[in-house]
Amino acid sequence: MEIQIDIDGKAPLFAQVIAQIKKAVSEGELSAGDPLPSIRQLASDLEINNKTVAKAYNLLERDNIIQTKGYRGTYVHPSAIENCTADLNAWVIAELGKSINAFRDADVTDSEIRIAFTDVMNRHSSNGQSSSEPNSSGQNTA
Amino acid sequence: MTIIDIIFYAIFINQIFLISYHYPKKTFDRNIYVLQKYPAADYPKLYQHSRYADPSKAMLNSIRKYMAANITIALLGLGILLAMAASGYAPSGIKENKHIMFVMVFFMLQAVPHLLLELSTHKWLKGMRGADKSSTRKADLSPRKLFDFVSPFYVALAVLAFIAWVVYYLNNKGFTTAWDWQTYVTIFGMTGMNLVFISFGYKYLRGKKLDPHQTYKDQRKLIKTMVRVFVFASIMMSVQLMVFDAINQNGWDRFEPIAMSIYFQVVIIFGIGEVLRMFKIEDIDFDVYKEDAWLV
């Protein structure tokens, strides 16, 4: 299993390392208890600073994706797959943030965004069914 | 001429054959195989187009010079051997161990083309790393630990052999005797050599890939080969010193040139020989050197 980062990419290097390891866990390429390379080895292989990998490992450990067992090394956490879903929340927040910024750039007010969001959420019920009938509250009442 | 002299001549001929013909020929054939099967046009990342107008020709010239140097040394060795036989040189008459200098000096001469080839390979790999302008970096998510590559038995054997040699050497010197400069040089020299082996092994194990395009499978195979070579070199060095101490202690100086030649041959068999055996050219993935390898 190998990871790949782009040193000229927009995302910070530590974030790329985190994303790659989480992806490997989510896709089942890394299982609970699998050993991971040491900070020094991974930093050396990726030709990046040890501190960058250490930061990525610290954040992954904080999120219970990996665990460090002293001198024995670093392993994938037993609950890593469950904890990886937290990544989806972060992704949702990030995506919503982008959309909100786009709406603001288009001079849509926050109230309008909130109403529209609630409307869309109501129309797309949590069981996956969507209603085709528009909600009158979707009109601009703010 | 005694049986010891005949054994010496036979073993020395073998040293000439092994170090200056057999392994150089294998190395030469490997390089020719690569040049023919993986040409510069199809595998550009394997060659240094920035340094040479015709990198294939430059590589061919280098490897031909390497083979020519080895053959010259082999012929020189045979010539010396004939001169020795003609002059009545007989190791069985040796009373002082300075006579083994001949075997040592000739081995050093034999080692020169191999060292030059090793240096040029490192230079070539450095050029390859310099030419790799890709912003994408890859890493294997498997840890590389020493015992994944070499059995703990051999590592323990290397440590025990070193301790055994120190104890044996100091026992011969006399534990209560004050150390003279020769003792310091020998003990610290041996320790230093082992530290060099450890640092080289560590560099392969934890350091960055020498070849930026190499697959992780090939990298692991290379690490396994090199770590084993260093562990075996450490074991052999300790054993060799114990053998030579025993020879000196027992006044078997006449066997020293034979023992020295055997030692050098064993070093080569477990050094270059091990690399050629374990790191077979047919098993290396050369597709990584294609221009569009990144897209595969």
| pLDDT at B100 (0 to 100) | 67
Which residue would you say has higher pLDDT here, A86 or B212? Answer: B212
Higher pLDDT, B84 or B203: B203
Res. B234: pLDDT tops 90: yes
Any CB–CB contact under 8 A between B144 and chain A? Answer: yes
Task: Give the minimum alpha-carbon distance from A139 to chain B in angstroms, rounded to a whole number.
Answer: 48
d(CA B199, CA B160): 19
Q: Which tens digit of pLDDT belongs to each residue from B108-129? A: 999 999 999 999 888 888 888 8
Task: Give the pLDDT confidence score for residue B9 in this predicted structure.
Answer: 87
Do the chains contact at B142 and A3, CB–CB below 8 Å? Answer: no
Secondary structure of A14-57 in the HEC alphabet?
Answer: HHHHHHHHHHHHHCCCCCCCCEECCHHHHHHHHCCCHHHHHHHH
**Distance of alpha carbon B1 from alpha carbon A12, whole angstroms:** 76
Residue A41, CA distances (Å) to A50, B169, B186 in order: 9, 38, 35
Are the CB atoms for A142 and A119 separated by under 8 Å?
Answer: no
| C-beta atoms of A47 and B216 within 8 A | no
CB pairs under 8 A between A and B: 61
A15/A18 Cα distance (integer angstroms)? 5
Domain-wise residue ranges, chain A:
13-83, 88-141
Would an 8 Å CB–CB cutoff place B134 in contact with chain A? no
pLDDT score at A80? 87
- Provide the β-strand partners of residue B100: none
Q: Which two tokens stand for residue B183?
A: 């003792």
Would the pLDDT of B106 be above 50?
yes
Give kind and range of the element (H or E) at residue B192: helix B181-206
The pLDDT tens digits of the residues spanning B43-84 come to 888 887 667 777 888 888 989 999 999 999 999 999 988 888
Per-residue pLDDT for B296 more than 60?
no
> What confidence tens digit (pLDDT) does each residue in A1-41 have?
888 899 898 889 999 999 999 989 988 899 889 999 999 99
Place of tokens 């023992």: B259
* Mutation for A interface: B141, B148, B288, most A CBs within 10 A: B141
Interface touch A45/B140, C-beta < 8 Å:
yes
CA gap B145, A41 in Å, rounded:
10
B140: nearest CA partner in chain A = A2
pLDDT band at A141 (very low <50, low <70, confident <90, very high): very low
**Nearest CA to A22 among A88, A96, A97?**
A88
Answer whether A80 touches B (CB < 8 Å): no
- Does the beta-carbon distance from B144 to A47 stay under 8 Å? no
| Residue in B with minimal Cα distance to A39 | B143
pLDDT of residue A89: 64
Residue of A nearest to B205 (CA): A41
DSSP letters spanning A70-128: GGG-EEE-TTHHHHHHHHHHHHHHHHHHHHHHHHHHTT--HHHHHHHHHHHHHHB-TTS
HSE of B72 in the Cβ direction (CA atoms, 13 Å)?
A: 10
How many other CB atoms are found less than 10 A from the CB of residue A123? 15
- Find the closest chain B residue to A73 by CA distance: B143
Which pair of tokens denotes residue B245? 């101490």
The pLDDT value given to residue B3: 83
Q: What gap in Å lies between CA B107 and CA B18, rounded to an integer?
A: 11
- Check CB contact under 8 Å for B139 and A9: no
Q: Which two tokens stand for residue B46?
A: 């394997």
Give the 3-state DSSP-derived string for B130-159, with helices as H, strands as E and coil as C.
Answer: HHCCCCEEEEECCCCCHHHHCCHHHHHHHH
User: What secondary structure letter does DSSP report for A12?
Assistant: -
pLDDT above 70 as % of chain A: 84
Using CA atoms, how far residue B295 sits from B194, B254, B287, B288, B289, in Å, is 43, 63, 11, 10, 12
Q: Please state which CATH class domain A13-83 belongs to.
A: mainly alpha
Count of CA atoms in the C-beta half-sphere (13 A) of B136: 7
For residue B295, give both structure tokens.
């897209």
A7 touches chain B (CB under 8 A): yes
Q: Could you give the ipTM of this predicted complex?
A: 0.70
Least confident of A10-14, A90-94, B144-148: A90-94
Q: Cβ–Cβ of B137/A1 closer than 8 Å?
A: no
Mean pLDDT of B159-165: 95
